Amino acid sequence: MLLDLTATSVELTRALCDIPSVSGDEKTLADAIEAAVAPLAHLEVIRHGNTIVARTNLGRAQRVAIAGHIDTVPINANVPTRDIEIDGVPYLWGRGTVDMKAGTAVQLKLAAELTDPAIDITWMWYDNEEVEASKNGLGLLAAVRPELFQADFAILGEPSNGEVEGGCNGTLRAIVRTTGVRAHAARAWIGENAIHRAAPILARLAEYRAKEVPVDGLLYRESLSAVRITGGVAGNVIPDACEVEVNYRFAPSKSAADAEAHVRGVLAGFDVEITDAAEGARPGLDAPIAQQFVAAVGAEPRPKYGWTDVARFSALSIPAVNYGPGDPHLAHHDEERVPLAQIDAVERGLRAWLTSH
Q: Catalytic residue numbers?
A: 71, 129
Query: Residues 86, 49: contact at Cβ < 8 Å?
Result: no
Q: Which residues contact 349 (CB under 8 A, 6 or more apart)?
A: 162, 296, 297, 298, 299, 323
In whole angstroms, what is the distance from residue 134 CA to residue 215 CA?
Answer: 28
Going by the DSSP 8-state scheme, the letter that residue 281 receives in this structure is B
Q: How much of the chain is in helix, strand and coil states, percent to nearest 5? A: 35, 30, 40
Residue 54 belongs to what H/E stretch?
strand 51-55
DSSP 56-103: --S--S-EEEEEEE--BSPPSS--S-EEEEETTEEEEESTTIIIIIHH
Query: Residues 186, 236: contact at Cβ < 8 Å?
Result: yes
